[in-house]
Amino acid sequence: MSEDHQRLLAKYEPKEIAVITAQPQVASAHFSPCGRYLCAGGYDRRVRRWDMTTDRPRELASLGGHDGWVEAIAFHGETLYSADTWGKLAAWKYTAAAPSPVWTVAQAHEGWIRQLAVSSDGQYLASCGRDQKIQIFRADNGEPVRQWFVGQDLFCVLFHPHTGQLVSGDLHGQVNIWELGSEDPVRTVDASVLFLQHRLQDVGGVRALAFDQAGKILTIGGTKPKNGGTVQGTPTLLVVDFESGELRNTLEIGGPADCFVHMVRHHDAGFLMAVTSGTPGNGRIVFQRPADAEPFYLNKNIPNCHSLSLHPDGNQIAVAATNRGSNGNGRPLNANGDYIGNYSPIHLLAFSDVAQSEQASRPTVSKSSTS
Amino acid sequence: MAFKQEVNMTNKFRCPQQEHQISRRRWLGTTVGTTVASWGLGGLIQPSVAESLRRDHKQVLFIWIDGGMSQLESWDPKPNTEFGGPFRSIPTSLPGVYISELLPQTAQIMHKLAVVRSLCTQDNSHSAGVGRIQRGDPKDRGVTYPYFGSAVANLLGPGESALPAYVWVKPGSGGFKHQDAGFLGPQYGALAFGDGQAPSNLSRPEAFDALDDQARNRLREAANRRYAQNRRRKVTDANTYVFDTAQTLMERSDLFDQSTFTRQELQRYGEHDLGRHMLVGRRMLEAGVRFVKVNSYGWDTHGDNFNGHASLMPRFDQAFSAIVRDLSERGMLENVLVIAMSEFGRTPRINGHIGRDHWPEAWSLAMAGCGLQSGVVAGATNPLGTWVKSEEYDIGHMFHTWFHALGIDARHREYVINGQPLPIAHEDCHAIKELLI
């Protein structure tokens, strides 16, 4: 390992400080902008919340009223936006003791809402869905501003941090950049290496998007699929110059069993943080600078990673995963003969220096479990 | 096990070495082209035959979804439950019955279908499950039972079309799948049309005119008769069958001409493998083939199950609903038994790859047509979809039901293999009465 990497590792190697157990599984877990809450959208129609200011994460009343899965969550200020796979969109004051929706749109999309994004000024909320549409709402009241049909199953939307442009990524590996006033993309980035038509199945697609702080680099995440069915593929990040659309680097951050990059974030210190999951038991957490050939941090001990959230203080991450031993063709039963489902360990990890001080000051914070 | 013993005996019918040499030389010298072409199609159907087919000829369309379609994302959705997944259920043309939102077109023809939601079978591996399901999972008697297609080909015969009794329209390569026939012998194997295409070298080479071809066939027939003299009937019948079938297929190359599908047909069935293959399957049924298997690969969604089914299911929905509608509108559904199934379903629990694994404990299949009630859902699972809560039906129950629907009495009819009577379906199972007319 180079000295440079050693220096980065010394500062940013994440150490586990606690684990929250969420059952049933959650799709993703996110720190709130204030850093006091961790919120997770789950497979059980609700958004779960934990108070992170206490010694042990303490679960609070969850946000209900959704159907299907809640995969899409976004924040602005004290508002949390959540969307489900049945097409419902809701806004909440997530700091309230028993939150009720500030507003809802019952049928924002025809079915599965894949992702939400809030403009940097907090004025607009964008959503995309399996119905191949992008919708823009006023963030304060949910009033629809406009919608347009893209023509592909859309996985991702993301606002540029400064220009107000919107970026979308679809199943066939096309990334479009939109001005909010136009239904024609300003430009398109080809990420079709992240897509494969295999037999009857459309496999892969753009699964993650992230900007660096300056908005100059756009990172596109997914997999280079080998096959459908039991999807296998190389987890891949495409690092693109946003202005020119030029591909700067392609980072293959795992083997075929590690499969999908589910989430990627740019750390202000100039490196990418990505999580992957693939064949159960595989998956990794990867920290790598965009121009580097190798990661400076690679964690293969936490399998099946589905989301990564960076705490606003920049010193801690939350990684939502699926438990080990999650798969199998048999009939898993507990002692009572009941069928056993899976759960999500949400791993809380602090960067090296912080972890040391955490351990010194908060010795009671270790593996904690709420369900 | 008399049959097994006989198989293991020294083979008195084996070819003498010199005969191989003679046959091979003659073969190469006289039947190049014709031999290869023998895997084509044949038998132009006269209108009167077609009418007869419509009236009496029972047929099967067996849609094999290889790898395991998820029952929760298809016929038995459990929305808003722990294992229900992200999708909604939608109402169907059958009041009170809901299926997955991924089957919107099929939902409109639910009144034509018969669905079983209480399958509980024995095998959770592909390697054993595919054969076990398609052979009806009979009691182990030390013999290899035929696949359902071979069984029907044997029990009902090819009919009057002179076309092969059991064809398989599949992605990838084709060929003759004699293994399907088990103890019935290779004659009852499946003739597979890879990508729905005609067997290679089906047409007579242009260098040979019809007279040459006839001369070669006469020579071949003579050689076949000689070959047959001291061999097992089962083997020589298969050999003769192959050439007869080939002759018929050569006359029916039109069955494989996919360029004649109309734009509208392709749009209705889908311009993907399954859509095109289903159209080829429809043609085969219309031409009188007794048993047509159409299959799709790639359904083993251990990973990314929900996005996988989000793209797989609409394509199945399109092709399946189109063929059922067409068979119905053409008055064929009365005599064509349509079955759509996999080797098992998929686990309720969702693994770390956001996939579902193999689940034979509680799953579903869909059927329509010949001998079956329409608009019926048999059996039920518990609210979480983990177990069957009504009577469990194994594949043996389905074989009894299908045979009954085709007019075959599975309680009394038997195969007789080398003097050994063998039940055609598992004798501990029975037909599902609520499914039958």
Q: Are A191 and A206 in contact (CB under 8 A)?
A: yes
d(CA A295, CA A302): 16
Q: Are A317 and A272 in contact (CB under 8 A)?
A: no
Q: Are A235 and B308 in contact (CB under 8 A)?
A: no
Own/partner pairs, A163-170, CB within 8 angstroms, 24+ separation: A163/A215, A164/A119, A164/A120, A164/A121, A166/A117, A166/A126, A166/A134, A166/A136, A167/A209, A167/A218, A168/A128, A168/A134, A169/A205, A169/A206, A169/A207, A169/A208, A169/A209, A169/A220, A170/A205, A170/A206
Higher pLDDT, B218 or A287: A287
- Of the candidates B397, B379, B396, the one whose C-alpha atom is nearest the C-alpha of residue B388 is B379
- Of the candidates A239, A216, A238, A212, the one whose C-alpha atom is nearest the C-alpha of residue A310 is A212
| pLDDT at residue A148 greater than cutoff 60 | yes
Q: Are B314 and B74 in contact (CB under 8 A)?
A: no
Partner A contacted by B89 (CB < 8 A): no
Domains defined for chain B, CATH in brackets = 39-200+252-435 (3.40.720)
d(CA A360, CA A259): 37
Q: Are A35 and A313 in contact (CB under 8 A)?
A: yes
Q: What is the pLDDT of residues B388-401, one digit of tens each?
A: 999 999 999 999 99
User: DSSP letters along A231-297, please?
Assistant: TEEEEEEEEEETTT--EEEEEE-S-TTT-EEEEEEE-TTS-EEEEEE-STT---EEEE-TT-SS-SE
Which residue out of B354, B356, B381, B382 would a mutagenesis test of the A interface target, given it has the greatest number of A Cβ atoms within 10 Å? B354
d(CA A190, CA A207): 14
Q: What is the pLDDT of residues B199-210, one digit of tens each?
A: 988 888 888 888
| pLDDT at residue B14 greater than cutoff 70 | no
The token pair that represents B127 in the structure block = 């390697």
B172 min Cα distance to partner chain A (Å) = 10
Of the pLDDT bands very low, low, confident and very high (cuts 50, 70, 90), residue B242 is: confident
Higher pLDDT, B89 or B1: B89
Partner B contacted by A343 (CB < 8 A): no
Q: Which of residues 74-113 of A touch B (CB under 8 A)?
A: 85-86, 111-112
- Of the candidates A320, A334, A153, A126, the one whose C-alpha atom is nearest the C-alpha of residue B352 is A320
Interval B146-171 mean pLDDT: 96
Element (H, E) at B110: none
Question: What is this model's ipTM?
Answer: 0.96
Q: Please, which residues have CB within 8 angstroms of residue A357's CB and are 6 or more apart in sequence? A: none
Interval A284-303 mean pLDDT: 97
Q: What is the pLDDT of residues A327-366, one digit of tens each?
A: 999 888 999 999 999 999 999 999 987 666 655 554 333 3
- The verdict on a CB contact (< 8 Å) between B353 and A323 is no
Q: What is the pLDDT of residues A149-192, one digit of tens each?
A: 999 999 999 999 999 999 999 999 999 999 998 999 999 999 99
Q: Are A132 and A183 in contact (CB under 8 A)?
A: no
Residue with tokens 């609520």: B434
The number of C-alpha atoms within 13 Å of A303 and in the hemisphere containing its C-beta is 17
Which residues, listed in sequence order, are joined to residue A113 by a DSSP beta bridge?
A: A129
Cα angle, residue A355 at apex, residues A349 and A359 outer, rounded to 5°: 115
Q: Please, which residues have CB within 8 angstroms of residue B191's CB and are 6 or more apart in sequence? A: B39, B164, B166, B167, B168, B174, B176, B177, B199, B245
d(CA B79, CA B98): 10
Partner B contacted by A114 (CB < 8 A): no
Lowest mean pLDDT among A195-199, A331-335, B176-180: A331-335
d(CA A87, CA A296): 40
- The verdict on a CB contact (< 8 Å) between A199 and B85 is no
Closest residue, chain A, to B384 (C-alpha)? A339
- The verdict on a CB contact (< 8 Å) between A68 and B87 is yes
d(CA B76, CA B98): 8
Cα angle, residue A78 at apex, residues A77 and A80 outer, rounded to 5°: 100
User: DSSP letters along B275-291, please?
Assistant: HHHHHHHHHHHHHT-SE
- Of the candidates B337, B259, B253, the one whose C-alpha atom is nearest the C-alpha of residue B287 is B253
| pLDDT at residue B26 greater than cutoff 50 | no
3-class secondary structure, B128:
helix
| pLDDT at residue B37 greater than cutoff 80 | no
3-class secondary structure, B91:
strand
- The verdict on a CB contact (< 8 Å) between B352 and A69 is no
- The verdict on a CB contact (< 8 Å) between A230 and B355 is yes
Higher pLDDT, B287 or B225: B287
Burial (CB count <10 Å: 0-12, 13-18, 19+), residue A80:
buried
Q: What is the pLDDT of residues A219-248, one digit of tens each?
A: 999 999 999 999 999 999 999 999 999 999
Closest residue, chain B, to A44 (C-alpha)? B82
Q: Are A199 and A168 in contact (CB under 8 A)?
A: no
Mean pLDDT of chain A: 94
Q: What is the pLDDT of residues A68-89, one digit of tens each?
A: 999 999 999 999 999 999 999 9
Partner B contacted by A71 (CB < 8 A): yes
Which residue out of A67, A84, A329, A340 would a mutagenesis test of the B interface target, given it has the greatest number of B Cβ atoms within 10 Å? A329
Strands A79-84, A70-76: pairing is antiparallel
Sign of CA dihedral B392, B395, B400, B406: positive
- Of the candidates A227, A228, A208, A226, the one whose C-alpha atom is nearest the C-alpha of residue A218 is A208
Q: Are B81 and B371 in contact (CB under 8 A)?
A: no
- The verdict on a CB contact (< 8 Å) between A327 and B355 is yes
Say what the pLDDT of residue B202 is: 83
**End-to-end C-alpha distance for chain B, whole angstroms:** 38
The token pair that represents B270 in the structure block = 């889908």
- Of the candidates B269, B199, B273, B238, the one whose C-alpha atom is nearest the C-alpha of residue B40 is B199
Residue with tokens 């199943």: A171
Burial (CB count <10 Å: 0-12, 13-18, 19+), residue A95:
middle
